[in-house]
Chain A
Amino acid sequence: AQSVTQLDSQVPVFEEAPVELRCNYSSSVSVYLFWYVQYPNQGLQLLLKYLSGSTLVKGINGFEAEFNKSQTSFHLRKPSVHISDTAEYFCAVTHGRSGGYQKVTFGTGTKLQVIP
């Protein structure tokens, strides 16, 4: 079984400050990890994904995430946030079995509020 935990339901941060959104996962096998962003009144948009290789993954809009297998974490970071980053962020995990249905488990989301 796989699970995802996003401990912070809301994260307020001042504009131009750095931010880290935390994601921890649980799985007995290898996993593949995603971060999605949901802007107000919109669907989920893929920010970045970790499949293999370098543990530091760069995504769109200046976001990056680091896969840490020993700590089973995939935290999302941005060095300097903008008002436009105000949104809800979802971490997701899958086992990625070849061919068949790949169950994707989503976290409960973290609302990032950027304060002017």
Chain B
Amino acid sequence: DADVTQTPRNRITKTGKRIMLECSQTKGHDRMYWYRQDPGLGLRLIYYSFDVKDINKGEISDGYSVSRQAQAKFSLSLESAIPNQTALYFCATSDFSGGIVDTQYFGPGTRLTVL
């Protein structure tokens, strides 16, 4: 079974609709992240969370919100979707266990299309 899962894998919605993307992990990691991927732009960080009570904005948080329901669950919401939020969204986890560097582990992605 995958360590990091995302639901749904694909979603088509209309402008103005509220959308929630969900991420669950069984890796036992404290740190979780949401990224979006656009062609030619690489990955950009939307939000990150170090634990249930610690949530932080990333580079491009406008138009998005998140909820960390438990250590293993981190949801991304688009309150009122717009077409330029059409992208591939990835959840990732990491476990900084006193070493030097976090290594991030990614879910399979959710392809979101806003019409």
Contacts and interface: CB of A to CB of B under 8 A. Distances in A.
Interface of A: 4, 9, 32, 34, 36, 41-46, 49, 51-52, 90, 94, 96, 98-99, 101-104, 106-109
5 contacts: A41-B108, A42-B108, A43-B109, A46-B104, A109-B40
A94 B102 contact: yes
Interface stretch (B41-49, B60-68, B69-77): B41-49
Interface in B69-115: 90, 92, 96, 100-109
A43 B90 contact: yes
Contacts of A103: 45
Given A9-B40, A51-B100, A98-B100, 4 more contacts: A43-B90, A49-B103, A101-B48, A109-B40
A96 B100 contact: yes
Given A32-B100, A98-B100, A101-B48, A44 B90 contact: yes
Interface residues on B, range: 20 to 34
A43 B107 contact: yes
A104 B106 CA distance: 13
B32 interface: no
A32 B108 contact: no
A44 B106 contact: yes
Given A90-B43, A109-B42, A34 B56 contact: no
Nearest to A34: B103
B101 A46 contact: no
A101 B56 CA distance: 10
B21 interface: no
A45 B43 CA distance: 14
A104 B50 CA distance: 15
A30 to B, nearest CB: 10
Contacts of B90: 43-44
A103 to B, nearest CB: 8
Given A44-B90, A101-B48, A101-B56, A90 B42 contact: yes
